[in-house]
Amino acid sequence: MRYLVTGGAGFIGSHIVEALVARGDEVVVLDDFSTGKRENLAGVLSRIELIEGSICDLATVQHACRGVDVVLHQAALTSVPRSVENPLETHAVNVDGTLNVLLAARQAKVRRVVVASSAAVYGQSPELPKTESMRPEPLSPYGVTKYVAELYAQVFGRAYGLENVSLRYFNVFGPRQDARSPYSGVLSKFCTALLAGEPPTIYGDGTQSRDFVYVENVVQANLLACQAPDVSGLTFNIGTGRRVSLQEVLDSLTHIAGTAVSPKHLPPRAGDILHSQADISRAQHYLGYRPQVSFEEGLRRTWAWYRQHSAAD
């Protein structure tokens, strides 16, 4: 099988690419390296076809889709605050870019498109856990763009028969998550702070909780979504079904790291939700999704990666 991974040089995309290459599939990566990095693909560069270009350019996407069986669409601007500051830019990449991917996939007679969506589509509603049948109430332009991407994918199924599956990622963490932006995932922030000997920052009292899902589980969900029968047009929560508080996260991490630190507490971040947790029963039922790597094991692997990485810098 021939796969196109858009955003294949990014955090999640590069892990998907590695898994596909490891099982012997043909892989085309389309990435504009705006946030993705060539070094994320260092282990597989000689075994993939790498196209440097943007999903915002239809001709480039058409070129990338030639002969492809399945598209895994991971390319996006993923920052919620950036989307609040500049909704047009996030819309152009996440909505117009997705439309290009769907158009090119349809033209190339791609069998199925798997779209990376987000728990951000749920927004502020306090009900937990989140089930896919809840009405999306995004809080940010980013959440809107992810919801629109799902809707476009579904419409391409209804109007043109293009099979599609959308995966709503919860708080994904693991090696290669970029820690440099002020809005990077909290685990990448905690790891880099501990390695620098600085106190990690907790916004609020640390009782807020998230459904942290190790990146390898997200890869598994993507691979299953490429093949599962009778799932076209469906959206799936991809988390673990469990939520962990930030204080617990820090306690587990300092335990693994063998250090004792007192976090710096700052006021809660504007717009933060208190708790997030996925109901993953739909993904379990239709995709056969079973998170294989526990939060604790994921944390150990993530810490080991950041430690090695900082030593190499």
- H helix count then E strand count, the chain: 11, 13
Largest Cα separation within the chain, whole Å, is: 57
Amino acid code (one letter) for 63: H
Q: Are 266 and 203 spatial neighbours (Cβ–Cβ below 8 Å)?
A: yes
Residues 6+ apart with CB under 8 A from 188: 173, 177, 178, 179, 306
Q: Find the binder of ligand UD2 among 86, 192, 201, 254 (CB under 6 A).
A: 201
* Lookup: tokens for 17: 């690419």
User: Does residue 186 bind ligand UD2 (CB under 6 A)?
Assistant: yes
The catalytic residue among 3, 122, 142, 214 is: 142
| Residue least distant from ligand UD2 (Cβ) | 185
Nearest approach in angstroms of CB 245 to ligand UD2 is 10
Phi-psi region of 96 (alpha: psi -120 to 50; beta: other; left: phi over 0): alpha
Q: How near is the Cβ of 228 to ligand UD2 at its closest, in Å?
A: 23
Q: Does residue 176 interact with ligand UD2 by CB under 6 A?
A: no
Q: Is residue 214 annotated as a catalytic residue, yes or no? A: no
Instruction: Determine, following the binding rule CB under 6 A, whether residue 269 of this chain makes contact with ligand UD2.
Output: yes
Q: Taking the complex as a whole, how short is the minimal distance between the CB of residue 189 and ligand UD2, in angstroms?
A: 4
**Residues 283, 105: Cα–Cα separation, whole Å:** 24
The span from the CA of 274 to the CA of 292, in Å, is 26
Extract the tokens encoding 223: 């691979």
Can residue 272 be called a binding residue for ligand UD2 (CB under 6 A)? yes
For residue 78, state whether it binds ligand UD2 (rule: CB under 6 A): yes
Footprint on residues 98-117 left by ligand UD2 (CB under 6 A): none
Rg (CA), the chain: 19
Distance CA 130, CA 278 (A): 5
From the CB of 253, what's the least distance to ligand UD2, in Å?
12
- Tell which one of 103, 119, 223, 280 touches ligand UD2 (CB under 6 A): 119
How far apart, in Å, do the first and last CA atoms of the chain sit?
37
Of residues 62 and 201, the one with the C-beta less far from ligand UD2: 201
Does 202 help bind ligand UD2 (rule: CB under 6 A)?
A: yes
Q: Which residues does residue 237 pair with via DSSP β-bridges, in sequence order? A: 168
Query: How many Cβ atoms sit within 10 Å of the Cβ of residue 242?
Result: 16
Q: Is 120 in the site for ligand UD2 (CB under 6 A)?
A: yes
Q: Which of 203, 242, 284, 300 binds ligand UD2 (CB under 6 A)?
A: 203
278 residue type, one letter: A
166 binds ligand UD2 (CB under 6 A): no
Part of the chain binding ligand UD2 (CB under 6 A), chosen from 48-56, 185-193, 281-289, 292-300? 185-193
Q: What residues from 243 to 262 belong to the interface with ligand UD2 (CB under 6 A)?
A: 246
Name the residues annotated as catalytic. 142
Contacts with ligand UD2, residue ranges (CB under 6 A): 78, 80, 118-120, 171-172, 183, 185-186, 189, 201-203, 208, 210, 246, 269, 272-273, 276
